[in-house]
Chains A and B, each alone.
Chain A
Amino acid sequence: MAERVVITGMGVVCPLGHDVESLWTAIVQGKSGVDYTTIFDASTFPSTFSAEVKGYSLSKFIKNVELHKDCNRGCSFALGAAAQGCRQAGIDIETDEPKDGIDRRRLGIYLGAGEGSVNNEVFFDCLVKAWDNEKSVMDWGRWAQVAFGGMSPAGELEQEPNMPAAHIAILTGARGPVFSCLTACAASTQAAGEAMMLIRNGKADVVIAGGAHSMIHPLGLTGFNRLTALSTRNDSPQTASRPFSATRDGFILGEGSAILIFESLSSAKKRGAKILAEVIGFGSSSDAFRITDMHETGRGAIQAMTAALEDAGITYKDIDYVNTHGTSTAENDSIETKAIKAVFKERAKQVPASSVKSMLGHLIGAAGAAELITCVLAIRDNIVPPTMNLNDPDPELDLDYVPNKSREMPVNIVMNESFGFGGQNNVVIIKRYEE
């Protein structure tokens, strides 16, 4: 019999707050974390707004900040979120002699983490100084000279996507399996699913799972703006994220980190840890269609949802709430709706399916884990989060998206969906914990 996997801790640093309760209060009240971009001057970009983490200080969460001083933004958020999650779960951090009863060789890490920003000043300075625009040639000698003068070894190293996992290992002393994956917008749901598998398969007792990412930087914004994936509703940032509405025009670039502590039921019981929910199913699939578009029938999404239900040993009839990927792009919301209809059949219009991205924006690599935290809290409080800014419904999209107001109702089993650019789909199912 495989180990049952439960959640014993959570932590978050996101546009709606730097702790789980602040996030949840804002979500239940339908507040927006979106505003004009301040991290750099984005005032001339097609999208001038984003969902930023504001007023964050790592020193509020950990003692030895010096050890992590070169962290990129996403990595710093990850440390704050991991510290919160570990505290709630009773995992000792920043110590050589943990007394929490967890064998460090059985403590793993599985993150869906993104790369850090380049040092923009140096990056563009090198380009400008070394490029001969008339002849269209790069003077690599000049480029190297400027680059060697401006780039720092630590600053360059810290851009690597495995760095959040590296820093969390230093913070916690984790010596079990450590993975970092990057499947675009589906990364941290993938990490959560695979973290559960590590425990089920006996490779670890406890896994620090989740995601971290910040793409609110000039090249990130440039990339998404050129893809025309972002909303350009510059006159009204707070209402720009409007999943499933007829006037949706793209997602809102966000940033943050969310960490969940996954643990085998036997370890959690042995330690007397408080159990927040049980993780029961995971499904992963690929669209294998186009790198720019989802398959028009939603076949990849359907396969991931079906695989997760099968893995959990339940049917669509058992799901109380679907936390959608719901990005507010024309394509995603329409195809995700089709997929839900295909999987949920006669129940499709009855099962509430909302998008917290309407408030939180899209945290890219960290999105799935942040949303999974809201699923745990939905179960805890029997409240389904709303889809905000849904004032002009798309006639083609006719599910119960829980428009504009959170809803009190019994919530026991929740499906969390994430779909990545390029067609990587991941779905995790969690359940109210019962003996």
Chain B
Amino acid sequence: MSSAAAVITGLGAISPLGLTVSDMLDGLCAGRCGIGKITAFDPVGFNCRIAGQCPEFKVQQYMPKTYRKAAKLMSRDIELAVVAAYQAVTDSGLITKAIDPENINVDPARIGINLGAGLISCDLVELAPAAAQSITEGSFDIRKWGKEGLELVTPLWLLKYLPNMLACHIGIIHDIQGPSNTITCAETSALLAISEATSFINRGVCDIALAGGAEAKVNPIVMIRQCLTGRATTGGNDRAETACRPFDAGAAGSVFGEAAGIITIENREYAEKRGATIYAEIAGTGQSSSINEAYEHIEPDGQGIAIAIENALKDAGIKPADLDLIIPHGTAIPADDLAEAKAVEKVLGDAINDVPVWPTKSMLSNTGAAGGALDVIAAAFAITEGIIPAARNCDKKADGCNLNIVTEPIEKEIKYALCCSYTYGGQTAAVILKKMD
């Protein structure tokens, strides 16, 4: 079956390293850390009190005036996605309804969207007055809630928290009427969404697709989940900048954060015809699953990750040694890092010593459903500039990790770059980018 090539023509990101893609890339190149003390809420009582938080922004600046009323229906996850989408559209030179309704240069029916989203947590402060109205003899009373408490919940409350609303708001803002999907596979959502958007382009159901992911993890419910499952580091509260240490012997858990990364993916012929700047081609994607009874971790040998990478290599038609860069998932959870390192080593074989590996979460934090998209943006930058910045906080590799972690910046031609990710629950994904000829 004929398959159209998919290329990346636009980048958008809001991350703990700044409000724009260039802020993020400058930060990564400088080895800057976006992790600090939690200010979004008072983390007293939490054993992890640090996170990667985005600088302040006004979401209304990223949408037409006519839509600004709808901003009050946006949870933070949605806001982040709206910001990154606006940047990706602008960067690709597409003129949608939101950019300039008088000079639209795209057919709305031929644009799709495929985003990764997290399990969006509700705003507890928003619900608390309703719960307070539903107390009988000091305890919560569901019968009182059904009659009185419920009435205090804002009518459109539910719509702020449905994961598909990221794509829906962006779709309305930019008039995206083509295929639309929302992938909810936790920390591997963004790479899976990018894979599925690539499939939209490959099979010709649209010419352009926005893809990536967004998640706002810096809120009490998400943070307590990460603390309860033991995935968050607890020893780094007084040294936020060195707390997240992927593949390092001193790694003791992940640090969570918030971000959105969205890219514009286009049919290559379409992009070339309109003279778009092309960052890279999406040469291959692969997916699989870890199978582990203790499913908060991936299986110790990382087989699910290895299969995803093998599938992506096969899809791209290249050998492991053809890779010039790997951006791993690298959460800094020791067992998971080790499993991922083993998986990469298994696939690469002898090439393990040569292919540079550049983990980014030490600087960007673990931004859940957004993470893979930030990494794809970082990989696209590395390819276009021929630079791999140095990793941070990996001073001494953990025992058993034989990855070639980049300790000093490297300048070289990068033809193929691999991003891979996995999540608790087991889904795995790999995406290979290729430099344009």
Interface residues, chain A, with chain B CB atoms under 8 Å away: 1-2, 40-46, 67, 105, 108-109, 113, 115, 120-121, 124-128, 130-131, 133, 136, 138, 140-145, 147-148, 151-153, 156-157, 159-163, 165-166, 169-170, 173-184, 187, 190, 194, 197, 200-201, 203, 218-219, 222-228, 284-292, 299-300, 303, 307, 420-424
B135/A424 in contact, CB under 8 A: no
B45/A226 in contact, CB under 8 A: no
B410 within 8 A of A: no
Q: Which residues of A contact B176 (CB under 8 A)?
A: 286, 288
Among B128, B157, B229, the residue within 8 A (CB) of A156 is B229
Q: Which residue of B lies closest to A307 (CB)?
A: B205
Interface residues, chain B, with chain A CB atoms under 8 Å away: 1, 3, 41-46, 70, 73, 108-109, 112-113, 117, 119, 122, 124-125, 127-129, 131-132, 134-135, 139-140, 142-147, 150, 153-159, 161-165, 167-169, 171-172, 174-186, 192, 196, 199, 202-203, 205, 220, 224-225, 227-230, 286-289, 291-293, 295-296, 303-304, 307, 311, 423-428
Q: A162 with B224: in contact, given A144-B44, A284-B205 (CB under 8 Å)?
A: no
User: Which label, helix, strand, loop or mixed, suits the secondary structure of the A interface?
Assistant: mixed
Q: Would you give 24 A-B contacts (Cβ < 8 Å), ordered by A? A: A105-B307, A108-B287, A120-B142, A140-B45, A143-B45, A143-B124, A147-B220, A152-B228, A153-B229, A156-B229, A160-B119, A162-B186, A163-B425, A176-B288, A178-B289, A180-B185, A181-B181, A183-B164, A226-B153, A286-B167, A290-B172, A291-B172, A422-B164, A422-B167
Q: What is the number of contacts between chain A and chain B, taking CB atoms within 8 Å? A: 295
Q: A227 with B155: in contact, given A67-B293, A115-B119, A201-B199 (CB under 8 Å)?
A: yes
16 new A-B contacts, CB < 8 A, other than A105-B288, A423-B168, are A120-B142, A128-B135, A140-B45, A142-B45, A143-B220, A157-B424, A160-B424, A165-B185, A165-B427, A166-B427, A179-B183, A184-B164, A222-B157, A227-B155, A288-B177, A291-B172
Q: Which residues of B contact A130 (CB under 8 A)?
A: 128
Q: Which residue of B lies closest to A227 (CB)?
A: B158
A96 to chain B, nearest CB (A): 10
Q: Which residues of B contact A163 (CB under 8 A)?
A: 425
CA distance A1 to B2 in the complex (A): 9
Q: A140 with B44: in contact, given A157-B225, A223-B158, A286-B178 (CB under 8 Å)?
A: yes
Q: Which residues of A contact B144 (CB under 8 A)?
A: 44
B228/A156 in contact, CB under 8 A: yes
CA distance A153 to B228 in the complex (A): 5
A62 to chain B, nearest CB (A): 14
B425 to chain A, nearest CB (A): 4
CA distance A249 to B227 in the complex (A): 44
A138/B125 in contact, CB under 8 A: yes
B98 to chain A, nearest CB (A): 11
Q: A424 with B180: in contact, given A127-B124, A182-B117, A290-B172 (CB under 8 Å)?
A: yes
B140/A124 in contact, CB under 8 A: yes
Q: A175 with B150: in contact, given A156-B229, A182-B164, A421-B159 (CB under 8 Å)?
A: no
A206 to chain B, nearest CB (A): 14
Q: Which residue of A lies closest to B44 (CB)?
A: A141
A285/B119 in contact, CB under 8 A: no
CA distance A105 to B304 in the complex (A): 10
